[in-house]
Structure 1
Amino acid sequence: MKHIMLQGTSSHVGKSILTTALCRIFYQEGLSVVPFKAQNMALNSYVTKDGDEMGRAQVAQAEAAGLEPFVEMNPVLLKPTGNSCSQVILMGKPIGNMSAREYHKGYSLKAFDTVKEAIRRLEERFDMMVIEGAGSPAEVNLKANDIVNMRIAKYLNAPVLLVADIDRGGALASLVGTLELLEPDERDLVKGLVINKFRGDVTILQPALDFLEEKTGKPVLGVIPYLPDLGIDDEDSVSLDDKVVTKDKSNAPIKIAVIQTPKISNFTDFDALSREDDVNLYYVKEGEEIGEVDLILLPGSKNTTEDMLYLRNSGMEEAIKKAHAKGTPIIGICGGYQMLGEKISDPYHTESDNDSVKGLGFLPMETIFAEKKLTSQVKAKCFKWHFMGESLEVDDLFGYEIHMGETCFTKECLNPFLITQRAGKDVEITEGLINDEGNVMGAYIHGIFDNDKYRRGLINILRKRKNLEPLPVSVNYAAAKQHAYNRLAQTVRENLDMEKLRQIIG
């Protein structure tokens, strides 16, 4: 099996995106290629067909490689819960919450045995592995127990490309400094340098590239241009700011506000909405105005009770209620759905130390957190779906569930969805809730807006409220993502020395 690994001078330098690009390039060239990241820390996650939970970045990489995602691509997932603590997901299943000290000092090296087993299974099936590191390999306080950077490179004898983000500044110093902090055998594994997110004339940068090669003895394999609005799933909430900056659609007639909480998770649920030309979707956090919008979205949360208290203490709860009183509809997904209810209880303290928290009170329901997490892919259809005075029927919806809460209704209301298949088994389970007024709705199904007919149907209901004509489905979201992978691959291919890279890989 051949390997190539991408490590970075810090987090958010573009390792995930460049890994995705290489997966696509090698897939286009007919290789059997698989992405891999030993340990991922992210609040954006996905559920595989087998009901395993993994990081969304590896899902995008799998799609770029022409593969159905499976958990060996990301055997360890850490989902931060707050207070330097994370839920540890091992091979797709939660094994408990650990503090940073407990994990790094006591558990990570034990998890490395599982990582090695995942690698062995991948080596049996594939010819090529594109590996993503995490953060920086030069974090001297973490290196002894790090299982995602140089420990992987040395275990596989994998050549490493070191990536720096020039857009944030200090790229040259960070590349030189990172190499200086590596041990000699680690430095030997670094076979090339990559400058990422460059804006401007690359010829002006050439003296700096010459300096880098002379100073480090490592070739600069390429300078990758800054690519706004990639249309590829993001790994963590750091990239939320990019979403706001890179796509200004203030003139779009439909305006949708997503409430950004500190522990927001799976905000990729709303990426498909942002791809529609007539939708301006933006994120609102503390201190910012919701504005005059057509819809408010409450996203998922890794710590629902803490995020609910954040809404209350920050004044955002009051702002949401004022907007709703003026006629703005609200939709909540997963944790956002739970917040729409009357009460959220956590008797086992699975997410926080809060025993119970009062919800927003829009929906007649209460949620109690259980000790076991439900993770499954689902198929569903609209069932008695009446929202904003309109109805919508779609029979072939798909999505996935990730939640520990069990919700019970305090009075009878409309359930908008009927789950027809869960984890591959045929079922008939009503899902979600719509209030009597038909202007607040919630459900546990992630990825529901990826369904083209459903998404356009909802937008058209919002259009009708503004006396705008409905529009036909014009965005095939799955096809749009494939186009994005191809665009990314082409850009990287044109700006990376592929001949030298192939020599490095061997």
Structure 2
Amino acid sequence: MTTTLLVAGTASHVGKSTVVAGLCRRLASEGVDAAPFKAQTMSNNAHAAVCVGKDAAYGEIGVAQYVQARAAGVVPTTDHNPVLLKPRGDAESQVLIDGRPGGHVSAGDYYEHRWERAREAAVAAYERLAADHDVIVAEGAGSIAEINLQHRDLANVETARFGDAEILLVGDIERGGVFASLYGTLELLPEDVRDRVAGLVVNKFRGDRSLLADGIEELEARTGVPVLGVLPHDDPGLPEEDSLSLPAREGSAVRGGEDGVAESRAVTIAVPRLPRLSNATDLDPLARVPGVRVAIRSPDATLADADAVVLPGTKNTVDDLLALREAGFDERLRAFDGPIVGICGGYQLLGQELRGADREGTGEHENLRGFGLLPVVTRFGDEKTIRQVIRTVEGAGPIDGASGTATGYEIHAGETRVERPLPAPIGPDSAATEGVLGTYLHGVFHAESVREAFVEAVFECAGRERQGGDAESPSPFDRAAELVEGIDLRKAVDLERVENGSDRLRSPDQ
């Protein structure tokens, strides 16, 4: 019999995804056959995974569930995240069930016409996972105490019920009011769901834990629910599930650059904060390079202090093109003389023209001019490409000197055609000039050869001497497992029964 633990939260962004990844890694390291599950995710950070229940080879799941599956040492499949909602603007989201797109709907239409089908898919996916694994570590969404949604809360309330789950409730002390948040959340839960709460976790704590002792004692006395862990504030380096960690359109944020390299010797890679930005995790490998700052900025921000520009993916290339043009970004980009890379939707933006734009955008534009930095044309149709790929790297342009292979995935609408002969440094659907590269490959900077060549080009163009190469660091999965060591897991999950009754004990895939 499978044991299910639901990691729920008092709010969004309290650390649920990291806790689930850490628990998956911790259980796998202890020989327990575990798997992650999230019934429904809303995120534009998606990853290709093996498709279950459909004819297609690959489908889309939230990047957090992909990471959690890898942490558990299992092959990521669409069963780990059977329902994915990808916001696209105009109060609409693309609905993907079992990894495959099923149209665009408003929130009202989703709950009225799609939710029952989504629930059926989630239950079926859960049951398949439960048949193959001893422990399911499920992740909730947002707050489990949204009383206006509890009758249709697929990721929290419904998962707790159909998965017969024990619940670990996580609160974020950095937000302030963690005791009130935990207490209030418990009070607002349906009685049958509250009875499933096995323990509470205080996350992101800085300082002396003894200072919490009186509060923890009082909270346990008032609720009858034990605090099973106080976790330190730390970032193990896992990809973000959504864009909450990125700045708002008018704001800016910097990743990386905190590695001891003098500011005068560092380089800055500017990234426009697209209104519908997706797959921001493509930037993470660059932000981990010593001496590299990834500056995520509003579309109307200057590029004067930038040494390179990366245009990331977008859920809606057409509408983001119009937003960038309105902000004057295209003019500033054409005047920029450093290395430029466009990934997926960013690649499409760099081209001469977008055709069939009314199929992609929310307006009525049939054809639109692109930024004109690459001689390519993108045509949108009804088909969507979702696949995992390995590309041969033949360095050119901003990645001159790169070689070997790059492994990643493609998720995009539209097909891009090169209008005149150009180097294709990352497979046949890429294109490069001397200073500009476009590719559909998500995860391209995870390839060491590509990353190193691009970083070297950025330093050379900036006229700065690079201080060392990539820094070695522990696996983010192992760091996440260490982070959750403070959770008294055996008070939430009957691991002794699992260990004594399973013939599937194993070690994670490193």
Whether TM-score is above 0.5 comes out as yes
| Residue of structure 2 equivalent to 1:421 | none
The 5-angstrom pairing of residues 321-470 of structure 1 reads 321-322=334-335, 324=336, 327-347=337-357, 349-355=359-365, 356-383=367-394, 385-387=395-397, 391-418=400-427, 430-435=428-433, 438-466=434-462
- Match in the other structure for 1:6: 7
Letter in 2 for 1:492: V
Corresponding position of 1:422: none
Aligned partner of 2:429: which letter? E
Number of residue pairs the alignment of both structures matches? 482
State the match for 1:483 in structure 2. 475
Q: Compared with structure 1, are the counterparts of its residues 95 and 83 closer, same or farther at alpha carbon in structure 2 (3 Å cutoff)?
A: same
SS of the equivalent of 1:417 reads coil
Distance 2:481 2:402 in 1: 37
* Cα drift, residue 465 of structure 1: 3.4
Distance in 2, Cα, partners of 1:129 & 1:259 = 38
C-alpha separation in 2, matches of 1:329 and 1:156: 50
What residue ranges of structure 2 are gaps of 5+ in the alignment? 51-56, 498-510
Q: What is the alpha-carbon distance in structure 2 between the residues aligned to residue 192 and residue 315 of structure 1?
A: 51
CA shift in 2, pair 1:488/1:233, >3 Å: same
Indicate how the Cα distance of structure 1 residues 347 and 185 shifts in structure 2: closer, same or farther if over 3 A, else same.
Answer: same
The answer on whether the counterparts of 1:346 and 1:352 sit within 8 Å (CA) in structure 2 is no
Corresponding position of 1:33: 34
Change (3 A) 1:391 1:351: same
Q: 1:185 to 1:209 in 2, by over 3 A?
A: same
- Separation in structure 2 between the aligned mates of residue 29 and residue 294 of structure 1, nearest angstrom: 46
* 1:346/1:211 CA distance change after superposition, 3 Å: farther
Which residue of structure 1 lines up, in the alignment, with residue 279 of structure 2? 266
Work out whether residues 109 and 145 of structure 1, in 8 Å CA contact, stay in contact via their aligned partners in 2.
no
Confirm whether residue 239 of structure 1 aligns to residue 227 of structure 2.
Answer: no
Are positions 1:157 and 2:188 aligned together?
A: no
Question: Does structure 2 conserve the Cα–Cα contact (< 8 Å) formed by 1:342 and 1:364?
Answer: yes
Structure 2 Cα separation of the partners of residues 340 and 131 of structure 1: 40
1:139 aligns with 2:139: no
Secondary structure in structure 2 of the residue aligned to 1:48: strand
| Two-structure CA RMSD over aligned residues (Å) | 2.3
Q: Which moved more, 1:209-218 or 1:442-451?
A: 209-218
TM-score, length-scaled by structure 2: 0.89
For residues 300 and 358 of structure 2, the distance between their equivalents in structure 1, rounded to whole angstroms, comes to: 33
The verdict on how the C-alpha distance between 1:321 and 1:74 changes in structure 2, with shifts beyond 3 A counting, is same
Local SS of the residue matching 1:441: strand
Equivalent pair of 1:452/1:475 in contact (CA under 8 Å) = no
- Change in CA separation of 1:410 and 1:75 when aligned onto 2, cut-off 3 Å: same
**Which amino acid is 2:270 matched to?**
A
Given that residues 318 and 360 in structure 2 are in contact (C-alpha distance below 8 angstroms), is that contact kept between their aligned partners in structure 1?
no
Match of 1:256 among 269, 276, 283: 269
Runs of 5+ unmatched residues, structure 1: 419-429
The amino acid that maps onto 1:497 is D
Residue 497, structure 1, aligned to residue 488, structure 2: yes
Indicate conservation of the 8 Å contact 2:396/2:402, yes or no: no
| 2:335 is equivalent to residue 319 of structure 1 | no
Of 276, 285, 290, the match for 2:289: 276
Cross-structure match for 1:426: none
Residues 416 and 431, structure 1, Cα contact 8 Å, conserved in 2: no
Structure 1 letter corresponding to 2:460:
K
SS of the residue aligned with 2:12? coil
CA contact (8 A) 1:232 1:485 kept: yes
* TM-score of the superposed pair, with normalisation by structure 1: 0.90
CA distance in 1, matches of 2:244, 2:60: 21
One-letter amino acid matched to 2:246: L
